[in-house]
Amino acid sequence: MDVPDDRRYSIDHEWVLATGDRVRVGITDYAQDALGDVVYVELPQVGLEVRAGESLGEVESTKSVSEIYAPIGGRVTAVNSELADAPERMNSSPYDQGWICELDVADQSSIHGLLDAAGYRELTEG
């Protein structure tokens, strides 16, 4: 499974990539593989305020529905609207074209509470 070193990971299989004062959020390669073919994504509303662990939306695959949890708290500033018509990008490009949303994060240091790539590899391969 692909686990890029440039970002942090939650134990719920989301990734967080810092981009200046914002972070971008998506699901991991491990998560998309376990879900199977993604056919629908319920994206959050721009402006939604979430705390870590709260729901950011839903991912529906041919076999199940799964919740997306906010890996850290913040306010949604952008969503990947391309996923509405091409949710399969979460399978084909989970770390790039398959991103879900961007968060304005009040406490940037909260990202350090997440797993680094080595820690996430240990979680999924251990």
Partner 1 sequence: MPAASLHTSPLDRVHVELGAKMIEFGGWHMPLAYEAGTVAEHRACRTGAAVFDVSHLGTVELSGPGSGDRVQETLTNDLARIAPGRAQYSHLLDADGSVADDVIVWWLDVDRFHVMPNASNTDRVRAALGGEDVTASRAVLSVQGPDARRVLAEVSGPAAAVGHFGVSPFVWAGRDCVAAGTGYTGEDGVECAVPEAVAEELWAAVTAAGAVPAGLGARDTLRLEAGLPLFGHELGPGITPLQAGLGWVVAWEKPTFVGRDALWRERCDGPRRHLVGLRFDGRQPARQGDPVLSTGEVIGEVTSGNFSPMLGIGIALALVGTDAGVGEGDRISARVRGRELAATVVPTRFWPPPVARQPGQPPAPPAAPPEGPAEEVPQSPPAPPSGHRAR
Helix H or strand E encompassing 101: strand 101-104
Q: Report 58-97 residues binding partner 1 (CB under 8 A).
A: 58-60, 62-67, 69, 87-88, 91
One residue of 18, 22, 39, 117 binding partner 1 per CB under 8 A: 39
Cα angle: 71, vertex 104, 121; to 5 degrees? 30
1 lies in the binding site for partner 1 (CB under 8 A): no
11 lies in the binding site for partner 1 (CB under 8 A): yes
Residue of 17, 33, 52, 29 lying closest to 121 (CA atoms): 29
Q: Report 92-121 residues binding partner 1 (CB under 8 A).
A: none
One residue of 30, 95, 99, 120 binding partner 1 per CB under 8 A: 30
Tokens found for residue 70: 């906010």
CB 27 within 8 A of CB 90: yes
CA 20 from chain centre, in angstroms, equals 17
- How many C-beta atoms surround the C-beta of residue 28 within 10 A? 24
One residue of 4, 18, 34, 108 binding partner 1 per CB under 8 A: 34
Nearest to partner 1 of 34, 111 (CB atom): 34
Residue numbers at the binding site for partner 1 (CB under 8 A): 10-13, 30-31, 34-37, 39-40, 42, 58-60, 62-67, 69, 87-88, 91, 124
